[in-house]
Structures are given as C-alpha cells and as structure tokens.
Amino acid sequence: MSIAYLADHPEHLPIVAGWVYGYWGHLLPGVNPEMIESRFHTRLNRDALPLTVIALQEGQPVGTASLALEDMSTRPDLSPWLASVYVVAACRGRGIGSSLVEATEEAARRLNIARLYLFTPDRQSFYARLGWAPLEQTEYRGESVVIMSKWFVAGSVNQDATT
C-alpha cells in the first residue's frame, strides 16, 4: 500500500468522488455526483489547498483524505479542515485510514498550517488515537457530530482542547 496525491493519479478522481458522494451525500443537500467530481478537480494540488491524497493497493485506489479550506458550512470561522477520510469497506482495519490522516497532517505541516479541524459523527475514538482533541459537540444538518482539532506548532499540541 502506498499514499499518493490525487494530482498524480487524476484517473482515479471519479472513483474518489463516487465514494465521497456515496458516503456523505446525505449531508450535502442539492449536491449531485457531478458536483462532487467537479469539487475534486479543484483538489488536484500538491503544494496548496485544497488537496487530496489517495491510498493505492496494487495500483488501485482503496482510500482517500483531503485538506480543504472549508468543510462545515455552519463553521466558516474554522479553517482548514481534514475532510473526506474514507477507506473502502474491504480494506478497513489495516491502518490505511491512519496512514491517510498522517499523510494529510504531513502535507499540512509542509504548508505551514498550524491547526486543522475535522468533524465526525462516529469516529471520535479513531481520531483521538491519532492525537486529535474534541473541540465541541454540535448538530450539523440533522446529525450529531463532534468537531475536533489538532495543532502542529511545536509546544502547542491541542493546547486549547477545551475551548
């Protein structure tokens, strides 16, 4: 298994967009698969946001994660976001999700991003194991979610997890 930028494998963009729409489409009212695919065209970057990484196994995509400027319309004050972390069901439990998150965190550090945010309805313990801290619990588009954050500045890891 290897991690690569979607920008280096744009032929997999329709697959990645399909995963994201299939898994999170219910949180995106008025959005169709073509709109998601168009959104992912803007993520074909390596050195700027937004960007997407993919996990490849024998040349085939098995997971994805993105860094996005916005991901939660009710919290425009928070940016940037770890978003669209997804691993195909048959490949879960093998560390691929952790590798994708670590790759996006490394990209954030390389881009001098001090702090990232994410929201999750049900994977708080997964992200906590990776060093993310809960920021707040809230409702987003009819679903209870936890917003989490992670600091990347030396000496300030999750310095204000209670705010």
Mean pLDDT throughout 18-33? 90
Residue 56, pLDDT above cutoff 80: yes
Residue 93 sits in which domain range? Answer: 2-151
pLDDT-based confidence at residue 162 (cuts at 50, 70, 90): very low
* 159 located within any domain: no
Place of tokens 């390596």: 46
Distance, CA of 43 to chain centre: 12
- Please write down the long-range contacts of 112-116, taking CB distance under 8 Å and 24 or more positions apart: 113/67, 113/80, 113/152, 114/151, 114/152, 114/153, 114/156, 115/149, 115/150, 115/151, 115/152, 115/153, 116/67, 116/80, 116/81, 116/82, 116/149, 116/150, 116/152
37 or 154: which carries more pLDDT confidence? 37
* 66 located within any domain: yes
Return the pLDDT at 153: 67
* 107 located within any domain: yes
Share of the chain above pLDDT 70, in %: 93
Query: pLDDT per residue over 94-107, tens digit each?
Result: 999 999 999 999 99
Least confident segment among 22-36, 110-124, 138-152: 22-36
Place of tokens 């494998």: 9
* 157 located within any domain: no
Give the total number of structural domains in the chain.
Answer: 1
Residue 118, pLDDT above cutoff 70: yes
User: What's the predicted TM-score (pTM) here?
Assistant: 0.90
